[in-house]
Amino acid sequence: MLIKKPSDIKASQITDRAAYEQRRTFLKAAALAGVGAITSGPAAALVKPAGKGEAVSGIKDSGIGADLTPTEYEHVTGYNNFYEFGTGKSDPARNAHTLHTRPWTVVVDGECEVPGEIGIEDLLKSYTQEERIYRLRCVEAWSMVVPWVGFPLGDLLQRFKPTSQAKYVAFETLVDTEQMPGQKRAVLEWPYREGLRMDEAMHPLTLLATGLYGELLPNQNGAPLRLVVPWKYGFKSIKSIVRISFSRQIPETTWWKYAPKEYGFYSNVNPDVDHPRWSQARERYIGEGLFASKHPTLMFNGYGDQVASLYSGMDLRKFF
């Protein structure tokens, strides 16, 4: 089935049902009002700034995950999967300084009425009022809680007016062997590709992240623009995006193509479906160490109340 990457969060970070219901209330309001802010204020009032990167001004609080304690900055930015900079977990933090994130352009094409492109500066300016802190459980190399800065992907997709033929959304990462030296090795087929079903892409929990901890995204975390899909395994949350395409057919994604019996297209966190080489029923929280006890893996990574309806009637063992 899917990748099971060990994970890290404290017991207090596992959200109970009451918290889920609060999130559901927020998302219902968001669907009607376009993800409005619950509170406003500088980044310092939302999460403790790390003080190591360029601060993002004017961000607000989505209210999502306010009950969660963010994982330490050093873990979030120092232990990553980003094969474009090396296959070791510490390689991206060590090697990603070679990536140049300005200028940066994202092409949007395929089954849409107004295909085009948008520069990162224009994108950030366009969505300044929409950028919010989202504290979300994520499965990267381990489970962690990341205070992402970003906005719903659907807000951008609607701008390009996808047609009724658009059933899926495909994404591609930059290919540049000088900026991304890991691409000189054929560990994967480049560019890195990912995809979502259209309803998944339009869900308000599916984010385009431009920062974390109140700062612009560090290179090793997918600067300048990455996907965040918190109920799926981390390899679905593609980094350093340069192309978004609307498609009639299911897109061929990198890990699904590389090992289809291990990494399915959907890649939802599902403790009941084991990876062929290990159990996915329990996970580790980053920061607790290799010898700490594992914790029960939560279905849909704890976001079942929000996203389970997307898969109503589907065999989640077959469509993993």
Residue 123 buriedness (CB in 10 A; 0-12 / 13-18 / 19+): buried
Per-residue confidence (pLDDT) for residue 24, from 0 to 100: 40
CA distances from 215 to 35, 212, 219 (A): 21, 5, 12
Average pLDDT over residues 108-125: 96
In this prediction, residue 189 has a pLDDT band, given cuts at 50, 70 and 90, of: very high
Per-residue confidence (pLDDT) for residue 26, from 0 to 100: 37
Per-residue confidence (pLDDT) for residue 45, from 0 to 100: 53
In this prediction, residue 235 has a pLDDT band, given cuts at 50, 70 and 90, of: very high
CA–CA distance, 54 with 68 (Å, rounded to integer): 24
In this prediction, residue 28 has a pLDDT band, given cuts at 50, 70 and 90, of: very low
- Enumerate residues 6+ apart whose C-beta is below 8 A from 92: 80, 81, 82, 85, 86, 219, 220
Q: Is 297 helix (H, G, I), strand (E, B) or coil?
A: coil
Q: What is the DSSP letter of 15?
A: -
In this prediction, residue 49 has a pLDDT band, given cuts at 50, 70 and 90, of: low
Q: Would you say residue 43 has pLDDT above 50? A: no
Per-residue pLDDT of 273-303, as tens digits, reads 988 888 999 999 998 888 888 999 999 999 9
* Averaged pLDDT of the chain: 86
Check if the beta carbon of residue 266 is closer than 8 Å to that of residue 319: yes
Check if the beta carbon of residue 223 is closer than 8 Å to that of residue 246: no
Per-residue pLDDT of 135-183, as tens digits, reads 999 998 799 999 999 999 999 999 999 999 999 999 999 999 999 999 9
Q: Would you say residue 27 has pLDDT above 50? A: no
CATH 3.90.550.10 is right for the domain spanning 11-311 = no
In this prediction, residue 3 has a pLDDT band, given cuts at 50, 70 and 90, of: very low
In this prediction, residue 57 has a pLDDT band, given cuts at 50, 70 and 90, of: confident
Q: Would you say residue 220 has pLDDT above 60? A: yes
Check if the beta carbon of residue 258 is closer than 8 Å to that of residue 265: no
Check if the beta carbon of residue 146 is closer than 8 Å to that of residue 207: no
Q: Can you give the pTM of this predicted structure?
A: 0.85
Q: Would you say residue 261 has pLDDT above 80? A: yes
Per-residue confidence (pLDDT) for residue 141, from 0 to 100: 78
Average pLDDT over residues 307-315: 98
**Residue 103, preceding bond cis, omega within 30 degrees?**
yes
Check if the beta carbon of residue 145 is closer than 8 Å to that of residue 135: yes
CA distances from 113 to 122, 159, 243 (A): 20, 10, 16
CB atoms within 10 A of CB 281: 14
Per-residue pLDDT of 71-98, as tens digits, reads 999 999 999 999 999 999 999 999 999 9
Per-residue confidence (pLDDT) for residue 109, from 0 to 100: 98
Which token pair is 84? 């474009």
Q: Which of these, 178, 187, 214, 211, lies nearest to 97 by C-alpha position?
A: 178
The least confident of 2-11, 101-110, 307-316 is 2-11
Q: Would you say residue 127 has pLDDT above 90? A: no
* Bridge partner list, 144: 138
Per-residue confidence (pLDDT) for residue 81, from 0 to 100: 96
